[in-house]
Structure 1
Amino acid sequence: MWAARSDDLPWPRDVPAPGPELVVVINPGSGEHDATATRDALARVFGSAGRAFRFVAIATPADLARAADHAARECAERGTVLVAAGGDGTINSVAQAAWHHGCLFGVLPQGTFNYFGRDHGIAQDLEQAATALLHADEQPVQVGEVNGRLFLVNASLGLYPQLLEDRETFKQQLGRHRWVAMLSGVVTVFKWRRQLALDLELDGQTTRVLSPTLFVGNNRLQLERIGMEPAIAARVGEGRLAALMPHPIGSWKLLWLALRGALGRLGDANGIDGAAFRNLTVQVRRARRVKVATDGEVTMMAPPLQFRVSDRPLRLMLPRPDHRVPVE
């Protein structure tokens, strides 16, 4: 299961390593970063500091969830730290395992947006983040759940999961470029005709609505970036999640809303509802199973969908104040 630690790493074998062992999960298919280069960089940082560490052996991306779960179980038993190095999808999969087994969790962000890492002051530079992890302290952080599945940044159904699936298809055919992602988004919006028929139960009140998508956020930074109403965004992370839902609209208006979100002006747009909540039940009428995206990973779930703040936080290893980077 574990990749062996090299015997030529520069720390004395008879001196106790400072801090708990770091068990690092690197997704071999995650983004544009080379897994071997990532391993080499982390070995230099951890080895020169005299910190015990191991890498989880993963042959293909399909093995990620299983390997992370096995590693998390061992980390919980030994009191060691499970570390995710990768983008949002990798971090979500490893965090899911750490949260399920209750072990300590560290993050080395390598994705495009890295909202979770940035919101907690974790550097985007790999070696800087690894150095900060060596001196990090445990801090419980809020996570969201939908039908028992964890999300750190957001969860959604309807149009948004379809956007993610279509984007991945386009990237496999045309390459991983920003213009490919933009093109796939435009194509998906114009071919999407479905309006979700939803029954929402919030604070004891049930409302019947139609909408192309439902977006639930657990990351204040992302919500602020898209321009969500400040009074709602400010409550996220303090025992509340936030829901965004556009009214039934056509393709051109959907594109207009997406542009406003990119410009950070979604909060003052007409035709979109938002609310902060702790528990939200969503029944999707005439649907036995629906696509749900959690931090960019799409799975099928059976309604009703229960969105809520988890009673059990994630045990995040948070950088000390002098090692945190300002939010950009």
Structure 2
Amino acid sequence: MKACPTIDPAAPLQFVINAASGSSAADSKRELIEGVLQAAGRRGELHFCQPADLPQVAQQATATALASGTAVIGVGGDGTMNTVAQFAHAAGCAMGVVPQGTFNYFARTHGIPADPAEAVQQLLGCAPQPVQVAAINQRVFLVNASMGLYPELLEDREAYKARFGRSRWVAFWAACVTLLRAQRQLRLHIEQGDSARDVRTLMLFVGNNRLQLQHIGVHPQESAAENPPAEQPATAPLLTPSAGRITAVMLRPIGTLAMLRLMLHGALGTLGEAPSVEHFEFEHLVVRPTLTPGRRGVKVAYDGEVARSTFACWTSRCSC
């Protein structure tokens, strides 16, 4: 990888902020960020946008940051971070994070505070460090990507939240409904190194975040030279299961009773022990789904954002 870029403290940091939550929240974020910058004697440009405009704004902010020798900062949840990361990684621009989501696995892995004022203060004193990201084809993801059951679960969760409101109980109920209904099986041709196999599965989930994998009970093999705590300080690199490797989790087709047992394993954080679950590590994986006539592809979720794909080349990369 290229050396991490240096940051010019005189250049204004480029903040990309998802303003979907409303004008009052946007005003609050503006006051908070500008207050921290002013107190530190630093400059910043704040770019508020609606979700539909987020890719264009992130691309423009990244180009500005790269040209002026500074960093682009994503402010929001996993979807916002994923969008900003696409352009920052492709351009070789340094990227910072101010988490505003629910789980914030990427931020927590780096020890970035959940409080936005503290997160901005920490950014002002940090130098760029390399972290491991992963990608499907050319699309980067920070925490996880998946096809099959998990994208369906995400879409159902958003539909239930739109109807009943945002709460953990609504999300839990939506997950139960998704898991217990009849599921469509995926037929995948998987190539890893010199080996290839055909599998039937309900889900292929790929994790690039040790903390999330540990929370669901999948414990990747740690490299001998690295044994870090679960949550890293902000200046430390992201350490995944083994350097340069990411973890795949596959769920074999199962019936309703076995699915209930699987849900219990998930609730107890022992998913990796379930007999219907297979997990393995890799650096590069080629996945070709078998499509029925009329299907344009399978749904793929990247850090919570759902799209479609007919071919998937999964790999690990490094970025700053």
Short-chain TM bin: 0.7 to 0.9
Give the partner amino acid of 2:279: G
Question: What does residue 320 of structure 1 align with?
Answer: none
Distance 1:140 1:184 in 2: 37
Matched position secondary structure for 2:273: coil
Deviation at 1:44, TM superposition (A): 0.6
Amino acid aligned to 2:302: T
Which consecutive unaligned segments of at least 5 residues does structure 2 have? 1-7, 228-239
Equivalent residue in structure 2 for 1:125, among 115, 125, 130:
115
What is the TM-score with the length of structure 1 in the denominator?
Answer: 0.85
Change in 2 beyond 3 A, CA 1:147/1:230? closer
Distance in 2, matches of 1:39 and 1:257, equals: 44
TM-score (norm 2): 0.87
Say whether the 8 Å CA contact 2:100–2:116 is kept in structure 1: yes
Tell me the number of residue pairs that the alignment of Structure 1 and Structure 2 aligns: 294
Counterpart CA distance in 2 for 1:197 and 1:232 is: 30
1:46 to 13, 32, 37: 37
1:138-193 Cα deviation digits (max 9, x unpaired): 10111100021100000000010011011111111111111111111111122232
- Paired position in structure 2 for 1:36: 27
Identity of aligned residues (%): 45
SS in 1 for 2:113: coil
2:245 corresponding residue in structure 1: 240
Partners of 1:210 and 1:151 in 2: how far apart?
Answer: 24
Q: Residue 291 of structure 2 contacts residue 297 of structure 2 at CA under 8 Å; is this kept in 1?
A: no
Contact 1:159 1:192 in 2 (8 A): no
Distance (whole Å) between structure 1 residues aligned to residue 206 and residue 315 of structure 2: 10
Q: Distance in 2 between matches of 1:314 and 1:113?
A: 22
Look up the SS of the partner of 1:23 in the other structure: strand
For residue 247 of structure 2, give the secondary structure of its aligned residue in structure 1.
Answer: strand
The correspondence of residues 21-170 of structure 1 with structure 2, limited to 5 A, is: 21-29=12-20, 34-58=25-49, 60-170=50-160
* Structure 2 CA distance for aligned equivalents of residues 39 and 202 of structure 1: 47
Structure 1 distance, partners of 2:73, 2:170, is 31
Report the AA paired with residue 32 of structure 2: A
Q: Root-mean-square deviation (CA), in Å?
A: 1.9
Q: 1:18 and 1:147, CA in 2 relative to 1: closer, same or farther beyond 3 A?
A: closer
Pick the aligned partner of 1:203 from 193, 201, 205.
193
Matched letter for residue 67 of structure 2: E
